[in-house]
Amino acid sequence: MSILVVGSVAIDSVETPFGKGENVLGGSATYFATSASFFTGVNLVAVVGEDFPQEHIDFLTSRNIDLSGLSRESGRTFQWKGRYGYDLNEAHTLDTQLNVFQTFRPRIPSQYADADYLILANIDPDLQLEVLEQVRSPRVTACDTMNFWISSKPEALKKVISRVDFLIINEGEARQLTGETNLVKAARAIQGIGAKNLIIKRGEYGVLFFSGSSIFAAPAYPLESVFDPTGAGDTFAGGFMGYLANTGNLSEEGIRQAIVYGSVMASFTVEDFSLNRLKSLDYGQIEARYRSFKAMTHFDAL
């Protein structure tokens, strides 16, 4: 089953204590699509400007990502500049230029309207709702968001949350959305808004998954060299949905395994700037790290 992803494609400039990436490929949909492409076919709906380099188009195409939904508009591509300190959990935005992304209105090509798997990457929740209207009867839907939409469009966001199958947000956002500092209480409150399944990302500390009264806790893979955390969350979501779409196994077990595949993919992304690590990745390495994950968390008895 292929996945439809709607989100941003960007040009990033990122500084971390370990180096710099200037004018590199970025954007939530880019990370998502590339990560998911290791597991299944991906259809991308996004916008770029006239300046968007052909090499990035070539790369996405080489990953078998269908770009018929990628529109090229006059003007410049969305640009983001950010910096990370030694605490790599928090990005400091230095500059955001929305450019062609400012007037982005996602139009879903007719051949995608029957998509079974749909991910709404971080965009305006009103646009996320418009996309949901355009996709007829998706089997699995997921969305991400950010602090900006939580404070500026809480009502539209809550509508999205109650309509998708998986909400994927980070712990700061979960606290902001609910006003609860305790994460379990925050999760229960978000379930109260209507979230059927909730994945809370905790950066280097891993992920908590809430569904009904059940909780699944997955650690992040402990890495000796983290160069650039940009895109880790989107890469996680891409691996997660990609694996679900590949197996079609929506049982609690299947979802948990998908979460671990998502964590595996995120652990690769942060090992280099931009999508560089994913460019050299192969499926054998993904499986090997999944095995390490299992070994790292196993304890049994009683």
Residues labelled catalytic? 234
Residue with tokens 């991400």: 144
Render the burial of 107-124: b for 16+ CB within 10 Å, e for the rest.
Answer: ebeeebeebbbbbbbbbb
Q: Record the tokens describing residue 78, joined without a space.
A: 């969305």
Q: Cβ of residue 294: shortest distance to its own copies, in angstroms? A: 7
Which C-beta is closer to its own copies: that of 34 or that of 267? Answer: 267
d(CA 222, CA 204): 8
Which residue number, 105 or 291, has a Cβ lying nearer to its own copies?
Answer: 291
CB of 12 to its own copies, least distance (A): 22
Residue with tokens 């990035």: 56
> Are 182 and 158 spatial neighbours (Cβ–Cβ below 8 Å)?
no
- Smaller CB separation from its own copies, 84 or 101: 84
Please say whether the beta carbons of 247 and 39 come within 8 A.
no
Alpha-carbon gap, residue 142 to 294, rounded angstroms: 25
Do 254 and 240 contact (CB within 8 A), yes or no? no
Euclidean distance between CA atoms 243 and 294, whole angstroms: 17
Which residues form the interface with its own copies (CB under 8 A)? 86-87, 181-185, 188, 202, 204-206, 208, 214-219, 222-226, 253, 256-257, 259-260, 287, 290-291, 294-302
The C-alpha torsion from 237 through 181 and 158 to 238, rounded to 10°, is 0
Residue with Cβ nearer its own copies (73 or 271): 271
**Of residues 120 and 208, the one with the C-beta less far from its own copies:** 208
Torsion angles phi and psi, residue 177, rounded to 5: -65, -30
Q: Please, which residue, 78 or 221, has the CB nearer to its own copies?
A: 221
17 phi/psi in degrees, rounded to 5: -60, -10
Distance in Å, CB of 65 to its own copies, minimum: 25
| Of 103 and 297, CB closest to its own copies | 297
Q: Least separation, in Å, of the C-beta of 232 and its own copies?
A: 15
What does R_g of the chain's alpha carbons equal in angstroms?
18
Q: How far apart, in whole angstroms, are the C-alpha atoms of residue 127 and residue 122?
A: 10
Report d(CA 44, CA 150) in Å as an integer. 25
Q: How far is the CB of 241 from its own copies (least distance, A)?
A: 17
Q: Which two tokens stand for residue 65?
A: 């990502």
Nearest-approach distance from CB 79 to its own copies, in angstroms: 29
Q: Closest approach of Cβ 185 to its own copies, in Å?
A: 6
